[in-house]
């Protein structure tokens, strides 16, 4: 079996560097009876939205199997588990707290803590309650205020028990894929302006939600047991297809539009300057004071990285992405491009002098896994983790402050518009039986994590 090895004396080998695995609520939980319906339940019911016509009704049945899943997490030897809370499991349509739902997360966090595993919580991983969508969802400014209320409830219940709280996961996907590209929930809305306008407006309200929630979390959670407060964003280096000026401009536009649109307002209180190049009908409505609310100090930035993106000029939209070709693509059709992780980390580090410490909060690959006699030999995934961990090491060597790495994902799960056709897990899930099987990548990571722990203990014993 292939191993993952780290450079000797690398920061990545130190016990202070946090290793974990990640999941999200809608992708694994199931049990829709225990929560309010969300926009993804509705989206899955519409024809031609999900590749295999599936939904999140059962997913990995994690709500019923969470104790076994905690055992699995602990068995891997991780320091931390990153998961998200389903808003509609915690706040009912009438605004009351759903205590059964909230208790689920409290029990989960306590069970992890008992076994020495940190909890890293994300408040919003795309599953907006349908009752808020019915009032306009992220196109309605009010949703940002409801998000802050929800954040307050989680802060009171879990704030002192978790290591970090991220407001949003990848608002790019909620805004751009949801409203502009239309391949994620809820899809573009009739009578709400151009797709670009909808995407930009949703993005603005998500940013506002982030700022309002962060202000409130900061007020409520201070002192010794306060968790680190931040956000999780996705990044992909944007490369031009050719060296032509038009393609280079397209790639730069895409970089600002996809990578900087969220981080820059958070860190500086301003949108990237392509904001001014948008037609005025496509720009978001911004109220006085919004940019100051969005511009809150962050304790950490979560970086999700999968691949790079190549762009070419497109007269209508300014830019369009060019699908990857060639050998060695993942089953998502994505190129394996580890140096892109180092590149984007350096780009951000050089651009923002107030960039907070970074956690790689998602990194992983979908492959064609076959479970044969309890073995899944996912060599491509082992190689992927190996090359991307080295890319993190390179970024650290070049001065970027990176504190941890979370593999996406703990287990195979509902991959949004791809349904269950894509397997990102390090643990294989047989959906018919819900049986979990450690893939060889899980075993390779486990060896790495456990060796690091025993080394640490050996040093402690000597001291």
CB nearer ligand GCO, residue 35 or residue 275: 35
Q: How long a stretch of residues is the chain? A: 463
Q: Does 127 bind ligand GCO (CB under 6 A)?
A: no
Beta sheet of 309-314, edge-to-edge order: 238-240, 309-314, 318-322
Element (H, E) at 428: strand 427-430
Q: Does 40 bind ligand GCO (CB under 6 A)?
A: no
The least distance separating ligand GCO from the CB of residue 436, rounded to whole angstroms, comes to 17
The least distance separating ligand GCO from the CB of residue 175, rounded to whole angstroms, comes to 13
Q: Does 362 bind ligand GCO (CB under 6 A)?
A: yes
Q: Does 234 bind ligand GCO (CB under 6 A)?
A: yes
Q: Does 304 bind ligand GCO (CB under 6 A)?
A: yes
* 170 catalytic residue (yes or no): yes
The least distance separating ligand GCO from the CB of residue 362, rounded to whole angstroms, comes to 5
Give the DSSP per-residue string, 255-281.
IIIIIIHHHHHHHHSS--GGGGGS-GG
Q: Does 420 bind ligand GCO (CB under 6 A)?
A: no
Rounded CA-CA distance 430/424 in Å is 13
CB nearer ligand GCO, residue 111 or residue 420: 420
Q: Does 408 bind ligand GCO (CB under 6 A)?
A: yes
The least distance separating ligand GCO from the CB of residue 139, rounded to whole angstroms, comes to 21
- The dihedral through the CA atoms of 324, 329, 334, 335 has a sign that is negative
User: 170: alpha, beta or left, given left = phi > 0 and alpha = psi -120 to 50?
Assistant: left
The least distance separating ligand GCO from the CB of residue 304, rounded to whole angstroms, comes to 5
Interface with ligand GCO (CB under 6 A), residue from 247, 271, 415, 439: 415
Rounded CA-CA distance 159/311 in Å is 41
Q: Does 363 bind ligand GCO (CB under 6 A)?
A: no
CB nearer ligand GCO, residue 303 or residue 313: 303
* Three-class SS state of 441: helix
The least distance separating ligand GCO from the CB of residue 434, rounded to whole angstroms, comes to 19
User: 117: alpha, beta or left, given left = phi > 0 and alpha = psi -120 to 50?
Assistant: beta
Question: C-alpha 382: how far from its chain's center?
Answer: 21
Which residue has its beta carbon closest to ligand GCO?
170
DSSP H helices in 116-193: 130-133, 142-158, 171-172
Interface with ligand GCO (CB under 6 A), residue from 49, 169, 259, 307: 169
* 418 catalytic residue (yes or no): no
Q: Does 378 bind ligand GCO (CB under 6 A)?
A: no
User: 307: alpha, beta or left, given left = phi > 0 and alpha = psi -120 to 50?
Assistant: beta
CB nearer ligand GCO, residue 362 or residue 369: 362
Question: Residues in the site for ligand GCO, rule: CB under 6 A?
Answer: 24, 27, 125, 169-170, 234, 304, 362, 408, 415, 424
Please list the active-site residues. Answer: 170, 362
């Amino acid at each position: 079996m292939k191993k993952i090895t780290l450079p000797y004396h690398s920061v990545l080998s130190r016990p202070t560097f946090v290793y974990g695995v990640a999941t999200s609520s809608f992708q694994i939980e199931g049990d829709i009876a225990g929560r309010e319906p969300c926009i993804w339940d509705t989206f899955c019911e519409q024809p031609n939205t999900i590749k295999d016509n599936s939904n999140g009704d059962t997913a990995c049945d994690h709500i019923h199997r969470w104790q076994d899943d905690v055992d699995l997490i602990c068995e891997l030897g991780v320091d931390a588990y990153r998961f998200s809370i389903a808003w509609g499991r915690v706040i009912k349509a009438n605004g009351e707290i759903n205590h059964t739902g909230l208790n689920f997360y409290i029990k989960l966090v306590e069970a992890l803590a008992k076994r020495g595993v940190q909890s890293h919580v994300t408040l919003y991983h795309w599953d907006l309650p349908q009752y808020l969508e019915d009032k306009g969802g992220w196109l309605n400014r009010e949703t940002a205020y409801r998000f802050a209320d929800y954040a307050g409830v989680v802060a009171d219940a879990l704030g002192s028990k978790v290591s970090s709280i991220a407001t949003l996961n990848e608002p790019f996907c909620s805004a751009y894929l949801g409203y502009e590209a239309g391949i994620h929930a809820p899809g573009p809305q009739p009578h709400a302006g151009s797709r670009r306008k909808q995407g930009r407006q949703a993005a603005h309200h998500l940013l506002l939600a982030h700022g309002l929630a962060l202000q409130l979390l900061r007020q409520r959670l201070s002192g010794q047991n306060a968790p680190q407060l931040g956000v999780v964003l996705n990044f992909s280096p944007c490369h031009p297809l050719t060296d032509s000026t038009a393609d280079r401009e397209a790639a730069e536009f895409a970089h600002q539009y996809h990578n900087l649109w969220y981080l820059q307002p958070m860190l500086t209180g301003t949108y990237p300057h392509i904001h001014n190049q948008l037609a005025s009908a496509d720009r978001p409505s911004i109220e006085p004071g919004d940019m100051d609310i969005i511009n809150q100090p962050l304790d950490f930035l979560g970086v999700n990285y999968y691949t790079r993106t190549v762009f070419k000029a497109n007269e209508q939209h300014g830019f369009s992405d060019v699908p990857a070709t060639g050998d060695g693509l993942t089953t998502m059709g994505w190129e394996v491009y580890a140096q892109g992780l180092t590149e984007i980390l350096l780009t951000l580090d050089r651009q923002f002098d107030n960039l907070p410490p970074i956690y790689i909060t998602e990194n992983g690959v979908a492959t064609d896994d076959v479970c044969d006699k309890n073995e899944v030999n996912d060599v491509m995934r082992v190689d992927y983790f190996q090359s991307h961990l080295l890319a993190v090491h390179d970024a650290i060597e070049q001065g970027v402050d990176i504190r941890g790495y979370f593999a996406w994902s703990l287990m195979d799960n509902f991959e949004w518009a791809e349904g269950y056709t894509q397997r990102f897990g390090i643990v294989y899930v047989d959906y018919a039986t819900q049986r979990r099987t450690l893939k060889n990548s899980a075993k390779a990571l486990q060896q790495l994590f456990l060796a690091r722990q025993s080394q640490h203990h050996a040093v402690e014993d000597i001291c």
